C-alpha cells in the first residue's frame, strides 16, 4: 500500500507495480493506495517521464551479474597459456581491463534488450532527437538509455579509485578513465548532453505530476 511518506516516488512506484492488491477505494478520505499511484503515473503530463520511471523500475528488478574486472580476464588468460614474453605486466593489465569493459558493456546491452519498456522509450527519444535534427538519432537514443540506466564507470565500477591488480581491493590512485567521478562520460557530445537534460526534465515533471495528484494542496479552501 502507498502509505509511507518517507519513501521516494521511485520506491513507491516500484512497490505499486509489483503489488498484488490493486483495489481502488473511491470513498472520501480513504487512504492512498498503490492503485492511486499507478493512476497518477498514467495521468502524468510527461509520457516519456512516466515511461522512463517504468523502465528504471524494470532495470532495478532485473538480475544483474557481478561486473567482471581486468583481474578476472588476466587469471583466465594465465590459466589458458603463459603470458607472451614481449608483453609487460602493464600491457597485460591494459588488455585485460579492455576485455572486461567490453564484456560488461555487452552484458548490459543483452540485459537491456529484455526490458519490456525499452523499445517504446527508445522510440520516443529517437523522435525527439529527430525533431532536433540530430543525425543517427536511434543510435544516440540507445546509447543515452544505456548510459542513463548504468552510468557507473566500467573501470572502477563507480568506486572512483583504481583496483589493485589481482586483489579486487581499491588503491589510493584515482581512476583515470572517469577522472575519479565514478561515472561514465555522457555519450555523443552536445546531442547526448541535450538529451540527458531532456530526460531529467521529463522524469522531474512525471514525479511532480504524481506528487500533485497524490497529495492535493492541503490549504485549498
From first to last of its 221 residues, the chain has per-residue pLDDT tens of 444 555 665 666 667 667 666 565 655 665 666 666 666 555 454 778 988 999 999 998 888 777 777 777 776 655 555 555 456 777 777 777 788 778 877 887 788 888 999 998 998 888 888 888 899 989 999 999 999 998 988 778 788 888 776 666 778 788 888 888 989 899 999 999 999 999 999 999 888 887 877 766 544 54
pLDDT at 83: 52
Smallest CA-to-CA distance from 190 within 133, 146, 150 is with 133
E strand or H helix at 163:
strand 161-163
Q: Are 52 and 60 in contact (CB under 8 A)?
A: no
Compute the C-alpha angle 144/40/22, nearest 5°.
110
Give the CA-trace dihedral at 124, 128, 131, 134, to 10 degrees.
-110
Q: Are 36 and 214 in contact (CB under 8 A)?
A: yes
Q: Are 169 and 163 in contact (CB under 8 A)?
A: yes
Question: How does DSSP assign 117-157, residue by residue?
Answer: THHHHHHHHHHHHHHTT-TTHHHHHHHHHHHHH--B-TTTT
Helix, strand, or coil here: 188?
Answer: coil
pLDDT at 144: 95
pLDDT at 199: 94
CB atoms within 10 A of CB 96: 22
E strand or H helix at 3:
none
Residues 6+ apart with CB under 8 A from 145: 55, 112, 118, 121, 122, 125
Widest CA span of the chain, in angstroms? 82
pLDDT at 145: 94
CB atoms within 10 A of CB 83: 14
Amino acid at each position: 500500500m502507498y502509505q509511507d511518506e518517507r519513501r521516494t516516488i521511485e520506491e513507491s512506484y516500484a512497490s505499486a507495480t509489483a503489488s498484488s492488491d490493486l483495489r481502488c477505494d473511491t470513498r472520501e478520505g480513504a487512504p492512498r493506495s498503490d492503485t492511486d499511484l499507478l493512476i497518477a503515473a498514467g495521468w502524468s503530463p510527461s509520457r516519456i517521464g512516466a515511461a522512463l520511471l517504468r523502465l528504471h523500475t524494470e532495470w532495478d528488478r532485473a538480475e544483474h551479474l557481478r561486473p567482471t574486472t581486468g583481474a578476472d580476464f588476466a587469471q583466465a588468460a594465465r590459466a589458458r597459456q603463459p603470458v607472451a614474453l614481449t608483453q609487460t605486466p602493464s600491457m597485460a593489465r591494459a588488455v585485460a581491463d579492455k576485455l572486461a569493459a567490453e564484456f560488461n558493456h555487452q552484458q548490459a546491452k543483452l540485459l537491456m534488450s529484455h526490458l519490456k519498456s525499452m523499445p517504446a522509450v527508445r522510440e520516443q527519444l529517437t523522435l525527439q532527437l529527430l525533431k532536433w535534427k540530430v543525425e543517427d538519432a536511434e543510435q544516440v537514443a540507445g546509447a543515452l538509455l544505456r548510459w542513463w540506466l548504468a552510468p557507473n564507470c566500467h573501470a572502477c565500477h563507480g568506486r572512483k579509485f583504481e583496483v589493485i591488480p589481482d586483489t579486487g581491493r581499491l588503491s589510493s590512485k584515482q581512476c583515470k578513465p572517469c577522472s575519479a567521478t565514478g561515472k561514465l562520460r555522457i555519450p555523443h557530445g552536445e546531442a547526448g548532453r541535450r538529451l540527458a537534460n531532456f530526460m531529467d526534465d521529463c522524469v522531474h515533471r512525471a514525479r511532480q505530476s504524481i506528487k500533485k495528484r497524490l497529495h492535493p494542496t492541503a490549504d485549498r479552501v
